[in-house]
Amino acid sequence: MSVDAIQQVIEAEKKAETLLQETTALIEEKEKRSQEAIEAFHDTLRVQEKQAQQELLEQQAAELAQLKAPLIEKTAGEIATLQQVSPEIRRKAINLILEAVVN
């Protein structure tokens, strides 16, 4: 092989090595960007999941409040009614209950 051919082979090998290094660097950079994109996507999903959970909790709390409101009003009304019962009627009611239990 001539000196010229050997130099061309050496140059070709150097170019191939440079190309391989550049390609490897590009692949690593793309993998890094891909991994960063995946992590960002996971972060976004976590945030969305927390927001969805918070919205669900708020919705359930609102529904519970709507269900409790009539019961609280009814109970408050019954308490007010019972507090208006005179002491005399209370004594009579207690006596009737005691008589029913004893007999």
Tell me, what DSSP letter sits at residue 1?
A: -
The boundaries of the domain holding residue 39 are 3-102
- Can you give the pTM of this predicted structure? 0.53
Q: How confident is the model at residue 101 (pLDDT cuts 50, 70, 90)?
A: confident
Q: What is the pLDDT of residues 16-42, one digit of tens each?
A: 999 999 999 999 999 999 999 999 999
Q: Number of folded domains in the chain? A: 1
